[in-house]
């Protein structure tokens, strides 16, 4: 039986991007509360782990020292004139008191997940706060100040592990791809809405890596308004075949739920029914799995999605309804009904055929130009 670990701390709630910002950190607390109310923290062969802060020097596994110094200054809530040169300012990446502390907690929890899995203490470790995949070596980007997936992968890589990174966030995992674009001991796979319409404007199928890394970067850009069937088709056609060729020691996943039908920052029409099926596939594709959270800006999608993911990781099938006590307590937070599963959403007709044709074309390209190079 698999052993699992859930990594979390209430200290996440000490931080806030601001009332107008779409990334609401309280989504983590609400997810934790639903998981707890369902008894999913009292599972045999599972453990709860209090998240630790990363050490500042652990950030240097990826980020520049100069960038870290800027983060330390901004952590006090005071801005500096050159902050914009590092991606900070109003909008996506605001300066707020504790932004480095927040990033250290997120990264520390992701590193704990890697340590637990790499040591074989558990098979699966889940850090719902992680997955901040846009940050670059010396620049904040897309709500992300520190790239915890890259740091986690680099930690494992330096221990001699072959790592496959699988990203199903609606937004392309550009920071992770860039970090490992020229290497062949890390395989990156991102399934996301096309960069023609969505930030960060990258992740096209032609981005397959460079040098010895050619073929080790796989992108499946999806047309807008894709449904569950196309999403599952894209994943099933690419991910298992790529992993069979690569044979990773450990997989690291970014499980963003901004691909869901009601998310305000993307245009995909996925439901948590398809999401659970993808989690089930991932569970069976590797014995060692570091799972990270990611995007998600409809709070209810986040809470339900990551709760369902944690249940699936532990082979638990949930009932159709939220616990009554939880629903009554948090109903005012945006829950419209007691159902934990989304209603099915399927596109049909000509638009569906055009979507599938576009995805099939991408898959054929990747088989021809990339998958054959992976070993």
Q: Tell me the catalytic residues.
A: 172
CA-based diameter of the chain, in Å? Answer: 56
Token representation of residue 258: 């901004």
Q: Which residue has the tokens 């399934």?
A: 191
Q: Please provide the size of the chain in residues.
A: 375
Helix, coil or strand: residue 202: coil
Residues 188 and 165: beta-carbon distance below 8 Å: yes
Q: 32: part of which helix (H) or strand (E)?
A: helix 26-37
- Pairing of β 217-222 and β 186-193: parallel
Helix, coil or strand: residue 18: coil
Q: Which residue has the tokens 């980007």?
A: 141
Token representation of residue 267: 């245009």
Token representation of residue 54: 């990363």
Token representation of residue 325: 């006590």
Of 305, 295, 246, 298, nearest to 273 (Cα)?
Answer: 305
C-alpha dihedral over 152, 156, 258, 18, to 10 degrees? 0
Beta carbons within 8 Å of 357's beta carbon, 6+ residues apart: none
Q: 166: part of which helix (H) or strand (E)?
A: strand 163-167
For residue 54, the 8-state DSSP code is P
Residues 113 and 3: beta-carbon distance below 8 Å: no
**What is the secondary structure of 316-331 as a DSSP string?**
-PPPSB--HHHHHHHG
Beta carbons within 8 Å of 115's beta carbon, 6+ residues apart: none
């Amino acid at each position: 039986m698999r052993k699992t670990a859930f990594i979390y701390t209430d200290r996440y709630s000490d931080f806030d991007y601001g009332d107008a910002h779409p990334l609401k950190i309280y989504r983590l607390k609400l997810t934790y509360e639903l998981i707890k109310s369902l008894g999913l923290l009292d599972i045999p062969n599972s453990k709860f782990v209090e998240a630790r802060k990363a050490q500042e020097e652990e950030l240097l596994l990826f980020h520049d020292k100069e960038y870290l110094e800027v983060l330390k200054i901004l952590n006090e809530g005071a801005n500096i004139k050159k902050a914009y040169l590092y991606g900070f300012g109003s909008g996506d990446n605001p300066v707020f008191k504790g932004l480095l502390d927040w990033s250290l907690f997120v990264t520390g929890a992701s590193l704990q997940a890697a340590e637990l899995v790499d040591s074989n203490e558990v098979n699966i470790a889940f850090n719902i706060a992680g997955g901040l995949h846009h940050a670059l070596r010396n620049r904040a980007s897309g709500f992300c100040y520190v790239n915890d997936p890259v740091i986690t992968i680099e930690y494992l890589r330096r221990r001699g592990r072959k790592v496959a990174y699988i990203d199903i966030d609606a937004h392309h995992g550009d920071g992770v791809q860039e970090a490992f674009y020229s290497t062949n001991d890390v395989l990156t796979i991102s399934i996301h809405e096309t960069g023609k319409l969505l930030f960060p404007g990258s992740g096209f199928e032609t981005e397959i890596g460079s040098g010895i890394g050619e073929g080790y970067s796989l992108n499946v850009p999806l047309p807008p308004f894709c449904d569950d069937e196309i999403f599952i088709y894209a994943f099933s056609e690419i991910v298992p075949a790529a992993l069979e060729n690569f044979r990773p020691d450990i997989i690291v996943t970014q499980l963003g739920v901004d691909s869901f039908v009601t998310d305000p920052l993307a245009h995909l029409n996925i439901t948590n029914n398809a999401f659970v099926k993808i989690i089930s596939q991932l569970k069976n594709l590797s014995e060692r799995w570091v799972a990270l959270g990611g995007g998600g800006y409809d709070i209810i999608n986040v809470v339900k999605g990551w709760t369902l993911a944690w249940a699936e990781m532990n082979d638990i099938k949930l009932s159709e309804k939220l616990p009554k006590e939880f629903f009554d307590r948090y109903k005012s937070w945006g829950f419209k009904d007691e159902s934990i599963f989304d209603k099915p959403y399927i596109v049909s007709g000509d638009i569906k055929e055009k979507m599938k044709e576009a995805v099939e074309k991408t898959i054929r390209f990747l088989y021809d130009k990339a998958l054959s190079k992976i070993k």
